[in-house]
Amino acid sequence: MTLESYLALGLALFSLGLVAALSQRNLIAVLIGIELMMNAASLNFMAFNRYVVEDPAVGQVFVLIIIGLAAAEVAIFLSIILRLYRQRREIDSEHITTLKG
C-alpha cells in the first residue's frame, strides 16, 4: 500500500466517525464516533511518519500522546454520562440540552 492509500483509509475512518458522532442518539455511541476520529488522526500521523519525515521516532511519540489524551477524554466523558444517567435516567443526546447541575 502507498501513502495515498493509507491516507484514504484514515479519511474513510474519520468520515465514519463523523457519521457516528452526528447521527447516533446515545451519548456512548457519540463518544465511539469521536474515538474513531481520533484514531483516524493517529493513522495519518503514522502514515506520514512512515513515508515522509526523516526521523520516524517523532511520529510515534505523537501517536502515544494522542492515545494518552484520548484516555483522559474518555474518563471525563464517561463520568459525565454516569452523572447524567443518575440524575435524569437517560443519556439521549436529543433531550440533554444542558450540563447545569
Partner 1 sequence: MIEQAVLYLFVGLVLLGGLMAAFARQVLYAIIGLGVALLGLSGVFLFLGSPFVAAMQLLIYIGGITVAIVFAMMLSISMAVQPPQSHRGKSALAVVAGALFFAAVFVAMRGAEFPSPAGALPADAWAISRIGHLLLNAYNVVFETLSVVLLLAIVGAILIARRERKTA
Q: What is the CA radius of gyration of the chain?
A: 17
Asked whether position 16 contacts partner 1 by CB under 8 A, the answer is: yes
- The smaller minimum CB distance to partner 1, of residues 76 and 100, is found at 76
Asked whether position 46 contacts partner 1 by CB under 8 A, the answer is: yes
User: Phi and psi at residue 90, in whole multiples of 5°?
Assistant: -160, 150
Residues 6+ apart with CB under 8 A from 78: 31
Asked whether position 81 contacts partner 1 by CB under 8 A, the answer is: yes
Asked whether position 70 contacts partner 1 by CB under 8 A, the answer is: yes
- The least CB distance from residue 55 to partner 1, in Å, is 7
Q: Which of 29, 34, 37 is nearest to 13 (CA)?
A: 37
Q: Which of 98, 99, 93, 7 is nearest to 50 (CA)?
A: 7
Asked whether position 97 contacts partner 1 by CB under 8 A, the answer is: no
- The smaller minimum CB distance to partner 1, of residues 72 and 100, is found at 72
Asked whether position 61 contacts partner 1 by CB under 8 A, the answer is: yes
Count interface residues toward partner 1 (CB under 8 A): 73
